[in-house]
């Protein structure tokens, strides 16, 4: 499974909690969701979140129970924010040898599936348009969207060949 975090814009909250929901990375108030994507089909198999925008990806991973749910010897694929996390495989930060560059190439080929899956989320404008409703409903709406997209993957798969890692 490939794991990554996506941000969804929200309306500016009241003054007492603005700092918590402000994401310096995207320069907006947001909620963040950790999503796990199955490698061969791109379907969403893990969902955690509704975390304030100020949380970084590694903090969200450690708060979720995803690492605890992994079987012994099982690993996740993640981007470079997860370097140093023992159960997450990442690309080499600065590949020195031809072997490291080859490993990075294979790694990016498989990691891009999460970006393709996230692109489908963005076609619904769910992440861009500010959420103006109760924040408690946001995670429910996000979960429904992921389920709808999983149905969509059945008719329009991201990958046609099932190449294994």
Per-residue pLDDT tens over the stretch 74-108: 999 988 889 888 899 888 888 899 999 998 998 88
Tens of pLDDT, residues 19-44: 888 888 888 899 999 999 998 888 99
At residue 8, does pLDDT exceed 80? yes
Read off the pTM: 0.85
Query: Considering the chain, what is the average pLDDT of its residues?
Result: 87
The arithmetic mean of pLDDT across residues 113-121, rounded, is: 86
Query: CB-side exposure of 80: number of CA atoms within 13 Å?
Result: 7
CA distance to 18, 33, 165, per residue, from 3 (Å):
27, 10, 15
* CA angle in degrees (0–180, nearest 5) for 69-74-79: 90
3-state secondary structure of 71: coil
């Amino acid at each position: 499974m490939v794991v990554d975090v996506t941000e969804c814009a929200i309306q500016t909250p009241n003054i007492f909690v603005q700092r918590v929901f402000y994401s310096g990375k995207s320069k907006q108030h947001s909620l963040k969701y950790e999503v796990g994507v199955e490698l061969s089909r791109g379907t969403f198999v893990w969902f955690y979140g509704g975390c304030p925008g100020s949380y970084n990806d590694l903090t969200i991973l450690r708060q979720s129970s995803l690492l605890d749910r992994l079987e012994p010897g099982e690993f996740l694929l993640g981007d470079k924010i997860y370097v140093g996390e023992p159960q997450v495989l990442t690309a080499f930060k600065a590949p020195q040898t031809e072997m490291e560059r080859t490993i990075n190439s294979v790694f990016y080929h498989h990691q891009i599936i999460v970006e393709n899956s996230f692109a489908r989320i963005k076609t619904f404008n769910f992440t861009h348009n500010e959420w103006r409703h109760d924040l408690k409903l946001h995670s429910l709406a996000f979960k429904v969207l992921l389920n709808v997209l999983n149905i969509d993957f059945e008719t329009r798969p991201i990958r046609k060949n099932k190449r294994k890692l």
